[in-house]
Structure 1
Amino acid sequence: MRTTVAVVDQQGAEFTFEEVELDAPRADEVLVRIVATGLCHTDISLRDVLPAEMFPRVFGHEGAGVVEEVGSEVSGISVGDHVVLSLRSCRSCSRCERGEVGYCENSMLLNYMGMRMDGSTTHTRDQGPLYGSFFGQSSFARHALATADNVVVVDPDLDLTRVGPYGCGFQTGAGAVLNVLRPGPGDSLAVYGVGAVGLAAIAAAVGAGVETVVAVDLAPGRLEVAASYGALTVNPADLGDVSLVDTVKELTGGGASGAIDTTAVPAVIKQAAQALGPRGELVILGLGAEEFSLDAIDLMQNGKVVRGSVEGDSDPLEMVPRLLGLSAAGQFDVDRLVAPYAFSEINTAMHDLLEGRVVKPVLVW
């Protein structure tokens, strides 16, 4: 079928719209008419760093829409269902069978390489093949092909222009709190970098009853949003001679029980670990520098843990409905983070996100 997609022709280029050919769904695939797609930093960062041979490409991995066609082997998903799209996993490797779908042995091919497992591409255009299948969807498009393992059926009464980010950004931040750190009311949480992922973590922690939440960022606007959740805010640029580590320790009564880093800045990660209390745990969600240093003596003597997490250790088929339920109950308030844009404004939305004007742009057809 012919459909419209936002194409990136080469590394670092802006998005341009083209009409291209999208394959009919295979037996295990689902065709979704996209209503809206969240714009995530991952779309932008990989646009800037993937090698030249992996372009042209269609990004987009926080899609929400309506099912138009279902392959013969797909069960539990029907034409007309309203759905949220998330990351893919094979559901059959040893990691997936343990419920660790974010760490699927086939994750790289299924989510990042731009093709199906057999090496075929889902999109073509007059100039030749076009890499798609980004997170098993490539939802910067009017239509996307997905599979049963990354399609989450949701209540048709939900506003599809607001639920797409649950498929990645919101579940990543919330999952780091609810699945990994699992804080109680008496614990404390420090979040370094309060974009969409960091603010989703704060929303989840506040909804879970965590009394002391600290937000660290250089952007005053984002700190204002964090403060609206009840978080204590720290702008390192305003601290003068006082160290960030000492400030966070003071606000958390001797060190945070848990912390989340979304910045991927090595100096920030080191300080986040130092600002933990004894036996505290830091979860790293941002991906940037290949290496960072830690205070080894502090880490060992205080029994601290530093670990990474993919998608907040979430299984989207379970986590997206869970978070939507918490939202309906008033325990995960993230709707306020969404800023709708017409899909034609994708480049404007990207620049507004990078410049900190908005938290979570969502592109709407």
Structure 2
Amino acid sequence: MVSATALIVPEKDAPFQVTEVQLDSLRPDEVSVQLKATSICATDVAVQHGKIPLPFPIVVGHEGAGVVLEIGSAVSDIAVGDHVVLSYNSCGECKPCRQQKNFRCIETMGKNFGVQRKDGSQTIQWNGKPVSSCFFGQSSFCNPSIVQAASCVKIDKSLDLSVMCSMGCGIQTGAGAVLNVVKPTERDVNSLAIFGIGAVGSAALMMAKVVAQDNPGTLSKIIAVDMDKERLGLAREFGATHCLNPQTDDIQAKIMELTGGEGVDAAVDCSGVLSVINTMIEVIGTGGMAVTVGNPPNGSKATVEIFPFILGCKTYCASHQGNSYSKSFIPYLASLFKENRFPIDRLQKKYDAEKVNEAISDMTSGAVIKPVLIWA
């Protein structure tokens, strides 16, 4: 077995522990990746604290980037030496996957949150015992990592992997929610409200700005909603034309005022706060679309008053991974970054991988939007 360094959660609510682990042998559909960077997502922390109940000990991490060391015998689209961003996992065989709509793979839950291979085995052992792994098909809090080939997205070698790692989940989720779900040009969207300006909401803003620049007359009003003044300041720079703070503004009244009483053409919630989701639903106008991206606690139910929805021909929908086919969408986002049109590096702060607990503390406090762990 090959030794690796892992950031492991031994039990619920325990700090991440830096430790040596052993990797299982590579299976035909797997890839060994020498990670250069892994960014941290709120989902990783939710698992740590049992908000997403998975068995401990566990190795999480689902926004990795690195260089391919070895490929399994059945892998044909990835080669040794390729630079890859690690994203969500999918089966590759069901009808959605065959249509390159892997974001709605029928095995999504098991492939990403099953924390084991399909045959029940694990990629990682710790002190001679199997550890919950295969998180999103990657468990990129382990270096090197055994990754499902389906999770690997090849990118240009000129790109900085410490920036690109964040593309794997949250960034593509926010950007895709705008481009692939709201579809501003196709639906003639002139006003868009984005609730929650963290990493996901910032990416949504950046994409809205790209769409507006490339399609004059579209998205003339891009409204950012957040309680943090500094994040609202960033929102302006990322493309927001208007910024609202629930601590000082009546959000529903302000949005109605900004839209001449009509409501917005589309809205995206990235906060996962149920009361915010309900406000988002209330502020969409006739023919409008409200998109849920942020995930509230299990059992939460949004409220929709049916008759106005019928009369207004409105839509409330959900989006997973921004409805993005990661193997083409992430390279597209990377090209925008290279053109200085998608500045996700401004969200990031870099930490040595062993300082994972400090990085999470800074993210939880709001001091940092997107912490990135750098592997030595």
TM-aligned CA deviation for residue 269 of structure 1: 1.0
Give the letter aligned to residue 61 of structure 2. G
Counterpart of 1:245?
252
**Is the alpha carbon distance of 1:276 and 1:52 closer, same or farther for their aligned partners in structure 2, counting shifts above 3 Å?**
closer
Counterpart of 1:276?
284
Verify: 1:3 aligned to 2:4, yes or no.
yes
Counterpart of 1:182?
183
- Structure 2 length as normaliser, TM-score? 0.93
CA distance in 2, matches of 1:225, 1:341: 22
CA distance in 2, matches of 1:322, 1:359: 22
Counterpart of 2:228?
219
Counterpart of 1:264?
272
- After superposition, give the CA deviation of every residue in 1:160-188 in whole Å (9 maximum; x if it has no partner): 11001111111000000111111138611
**Is the alpha carbon distance of 1:74 and 1:230 closer, same or farther for their aligned partners in structure 2, counting shifts above 3 Å?**
closer
TM-aligned CA deviation for residue 77 of structure 1: 1.3
Whether the 8 Å contact between 1:222 and 1:359 is mirrored in structure 2 is no
Give the letter aligned to residue 34 of structure 1. L
Whether the 8 Å contact between 2:353 and 2:374 is mirrored in structure 1 is yes
CA distance in 2, matches of 1:237, 1:60: 34
Counterpart of 2:89?
88
CA distance in 2, matches of 1:50, 1:358: 21
Whether the 8 Å contact between 1:54 and 1:113 is mirrored in structure 2 is no
3-state SS of paired residue (2:142): coil
CA distance in 2, matches of 1:282, 1:45: 25
Counterpart of 2:309?
299
- After superposition, give the CA deviation of every residue in 1:99-140 in whole Å (9 maximum; x if it has no partner): 321111111121112100110011111162111100000001
- After superposition, give the CA deviation of every residue in 1:217-257 in whole Å (9 maximum; x if it has no partner): 11222111112224111110112xxx311111222343111
3-state SS of paired residue (1:358): coil
Give the letter aligned to residue 267 of structure 2. A
The range that moved more, 299-308 or 187-196, is: 299-308
**Is the alpha carbon distance of 1:155 and 1:147 closer, same or farther for their aligned partners in structure 2, counting shifts above 3 Å?**
same
Map 1:324-343 onto structure 2 (within 5 A).
324-343=334-353
Q: 2:245 aligns with which of 232, 235, 251?
A: 235
The range that moved more, 66-75 or 321-330, is: 321-330
CA distance in 1, matches of 2:150, 2:335: 20
Map 1:141-160 onto structure 2 (within 5 A).
141-160=142-161
- After superposition, give the CA deviation of every residue in 1:45-68 in whole Å (9 maximum; x if it has no partner): 122235776110001000000111
Counterpart of 1:207?
210
TM-aligned CA deviation for residue 267 of structure 1: 1.4
Counterpart of 1:192?
195
Q: CA RMSD in A?
A: 1.5
Give the letter aligned to residue 32 of structure 1. V
TM-aligned CA deviation for residue 39 of structure 1: 0.4
Whether the 8 Å contact between 1:109 and 1:116 is mirrored in structure 2 is no
The range that moved more, 84-93 or 100-109, is: 100-109
TM-aligned CA deviation for residue 199 of structure 1: 0.5
CA distance in 2, matches of 1:328, 1:256: 31
Whether the 8 Å contact between 1:270 and 1:295 is mirrored in structure 2 is no
3-state SS of paired residue (1:120): coil
CA distance in 2, matches of 1:40, 1:197: 10
Give the letter aligned to residue 67 of structure 2. V
What are structure 1's unaligned runs of at least 5 residues?
A: none
The range that moved more, 57-66 or 46-55, is: 46-55
Give the letter aligned to residue 100 of structure 1. K
Whether the 8 Å contact between 2:35 and 2:140 is mirrored in structure 1 is yes
- Runs of 4+ in structure 1 off by over 6 angstroms are none
3-state SS of paired residue (2:343): coil
TM-aligned CA deviation for residue 43 of structure 1: 0.8
Give the letter aligned to residue 219 of structure 1. D
Give the letter aligned to residue 303 of structure 1. C
CA distance in 2, matches of 1:207, 1:332: 8
3-state SS of paired residue (2:368): coil
Percent identity reads: 39
Map 1:9-20 onto structure 2 (within 5 A).
9-20=10-21
Counterpart of 2:323?
313
CA distance in 2, matches of 1:310, 1:12: 27
3-state SS of paired residue (1:307): strand
